[in-house]
Homo-oligomer: A and B are copies of this chain.
Amino acid sequence: MLELIRSLAVENTTKIVLLSLDGLGGLPRPETGRSELETARLPNLASLAGEASCGLLRHVAPGITPGSGPGHLGLFGYDPIAYQVGRGVLESLGIEFDLRAGDLAARGNFCTVDGNGLITDRRAGRIATDVCVRLTERLRTIRLPGVELFVEPVKEHRFVLVLRGHGLSGPLTETDPQALGKAPLPVRALDPAATRAAELVNAFIDESRRRLADAAPANMILLRGFDLLPALPRFPEVFALRAAAIAAYPMYRGLAKLVGMDVLKTGGTFADEIGTLREHWQAYDFFFVHYKDTDKAGEDGQFDAKVAALERFDAYIPSVRELRPDVVIVTGDHATPSILAAHGWQPVPVLVWSRYCGADPVTAFTERACAAGTLGLLPAHHLMPLAMANALRLTKFGA
């Protein structure tokens, strides 16, 4: 499919803005029977929906709850089942570690083991982040033959391990036995090509045990999510777009960078992001703009806070329209219903606005209204081709 798009993509002067509200979709609150989107006052989104084609995006497959990685890859046009990104890679992107092709990345936890080496706490009592920083400095001094090692603190007991060198390969099994009272497992190669990587990682684990012997409760490590940085077709080449990402959070900047977008420097608020959009308007054809507040409120189970986050977002729509984009898309990377207080599997409302988007009967941007839209229930990775078509950037298929 990406090859088909690549063969049909043409350049012109149109501009596409993809506004992604993290965790956009919700569920009705039992007391009122209305979802967050149905409760919020969203006059600008409603008016945009009235002029747009609407539908629901399904990011992975029915019933599958997308993580941030698959959620965004889908929005960027990549089938998230065909293009899988390991957790180690995602964690590295989340701290903006400069991963390179061929790097093998894993998530790490400090943990506690007893005198027999059996795990007594899989998270080492959630040590403070500054303790984590100090202990990763110890692990960084480990040397392995033929590879460069990076051990980067994340938060509390979490860190990232990256091996850089020729001929490394994943995937490897994880070392966490997922139970107390057991010893950490050695890693095993899940592919014959990964044998050398497995040996190196096991050597790293042995050496870590020695260096952390006096560091209880963080006297051992657990590693998982080993995989290589995947080679993804580059977004700017597939779609023939000068593409920019505007996101305040590292994870989303990392995901945009992974597919080859330019990641623009921006401030910590959505107002800053919209300012960045305005500032770089002439230099790019495509903008991915990320709004985080909806997901945060949903994850916290704060229905009213999510309603408020939606209303704050709505107020920025006129600033985007003032720039006179040719295509505006509003959607999200997954649902985060407040009553779930977690990512959900529910399809996510989407609207596509352009001069040529066609009319549909939808005049409100809600889960229920969008279900009756002409876009129907759309796999997320079909959204980019639709955006391209609306920007008149795809030629005819066949004569």
Chain A residues close to B by CB (< 8 Å):
1, 4, 8, 27-28, 30, 33, 35, 56, 60-71, 80-81, 84-85, 87, 90-91, 225, 337, 339-340, 342-347, 355-356, 358-361, 367-368, 371-378, 382-390, 394-399
Contacts and interface: CB of A to CB of B under 8 A. Distances in A.
A311 B69 CA distance: 47
A64 B394 contact: yes
Contacts of A396: 65-67, 342-343
A389 B359 contact: no
A361 B8 CA distance: 37
Contact of A346 (B56, B342, B358, B385): B358
A361 B372 CA distance: 9
Nearest to A80: B398
A61 B385 contact: yes
A contacts with B: majority SS: loop
B61 A382 contact: yes
Nearest to A35: B359
Contacts of A71: 398
Given A360-B368, A371-B360, A371-B374, A63 B398 contact: no
A398 B367 contact: no
Most B CB within 10 A of own CB, among A60, A356, A360, A394: A356
5 contacts: A4-B81, A8-B64, A62-B378, A63-B384, A339-B355
Given A63-B390, A65-B396, 16 more contacts: A56-B374, A62-B385, A63-B382, A63-B384, A63-B389, A64-B394, A65-B389, A65-B395, A65-B397, A80-B398, A225-B399, A339-B356, A340-B356, A360-B368, A360-B371, A367-B374
B377 A69 contact: no
A387 B345 CA distance: 11
